[in-house]
Amino acid sequence: MSQILDAKQALIINGQPRFGYFDDALSTINSQDFVYETPFGSQRADWQKWLGFKEFQYFGGMSNQLIFGCAIAHLRYVAIAFVYVYDIEKRDLWSKSWRSPLGLGFSLASNSLNGETHFKIPALVDIKLNYQDHPRQKTLIIKCKELHIEARMDESQLQPMSICTQTGYNGWTYTAKSAGQPLYGFVELKKQRFDLEKIKAYGSLDFSTGYMRRETWWNWACSAGEIQHGQRKGQSVGLNLSTGVNETSFSENCFWLNGKRYNLNHAQFEFDRKDTLKPWKLTANNGQVQLNFQPMGMHREKVRAVYLNTHFRQMFGEFSGCIIVDGEEICLDGLKGFVEDQYITW
């Protein structure tokens, strides 16, 4: 097992990031201290350093009645946000996206422990993602036409995934992720109100930042909820699987059982890229992961512009199969969640 790094220290020391696993989410992500160089050792211009820095955050909720997701990203020349809510019983999808040139009216929390991310376009949308350390919790508040969300996830009993990896020749990506904790609050859509505690909704959080590849891709899967079958029925679980970004020497893949985190091996995603609504298969090369995913629907973003090209598809639906932790097979049949296929040039 790799040495665990002290999260109380800053990420960047002597101009370079510390790579590896941290014992907690970082409170000091001092990206301004990073010395951003070309592959030949010369320091890049300030505008190149500004343009190369990317940030995105995601808050998701899932239950047997409702699935929702909210993403906020700052790509420097534009800020992007989207929200969708899917009513499983009605098979009804509500989805909206917004863009703000140069990130006007937009601010991002500098870490996932304290601060607020705020995306606002007057008369259209107001999104706040609050981070609080004492007690540790995340709160999403969304207000726009037809939709009002106030969702809080208590993380006081959860071990977060906190990792920094080398990205490309001279970049880096830091991510803090958590999943598998109950949500409190409500979702009110088209005058219908869902109490998140009553419908047993569970949440997930992705906080990612760094100097990522100019052209990149990834697949991602996430689930959270209560085990519905077997000896551990009723216990809480969370799942985070990814390929394409955080894989250089260290992997972000992990599984939470009652808040305790277990690291997983590198994952493989098998799916039909031309029809991502067909079933997916997710495995790990040591047999720890044997999962299938049946999509119920999809949120999609497609942009073709001078500096930004993206083809983003996030499917929401239901998992089946198992995870093996410490030799124990844990059934995930019936758990809801997400899978994602993303290509981007930014």
Question: Has residue 1 been placed in a domain?
Answer: no
* Per-residue model confidence (pLDDT) at position 1: 52
Return d(Cα 112, Cα 179) in angstroms, integer.
14
Question: Has residue 135 been placed in a domain?
Answer: yes
Question: Has residue 2 been placed in a domain?
Answer: no
Return d(Cα 284, Cα 267) in angstroms, integer.
4
Please report the DSSP string for 40-86 in residue order.
Answer: TSPBPPHHHHHHH-EEEEEEEEE-SSEEEEEEEEE-SSEEEEEEEEE
For the stretch 103-141, pLDDT in tens is 888 899 999 999 999 999 999 999 999 999 999 999 999
**Taking CA 319 as the corner, what is the angle to CA 93 and CA 302, rounded to the nearest 5 degrees?**
45
Q: Whole domain around residue 167: which residue ranges?
A: 9-345
CA distances from 66 to 92, 117, 170, 222, 229 (A): 10, 24, 41, 15, 20
As for how many domains the chain has, the answer is 1
Question: Has residue 42 been placed in a domain?
Answer: yes
pLDDT at 2 over 70: no
Question: Has residue 330 been placed in a domain?
Answer: yes
For the stretch 70-110, pLDDT in tens is 999 998 888 999 999 999 999 999 999 999 988 888 899 99
Return d(Cα 238, Cα 225) in angstroms, integer.
7
Helix and strand totals (H; E) in the chain: 1, 27
Please name the residue that has the structure tokens 């790799």: 2
Question: Has residue 167 been placed in a domain?
Answer: yes
Q: Check the CA dihedral 135-138-142-146 and report its sign.
A: negative
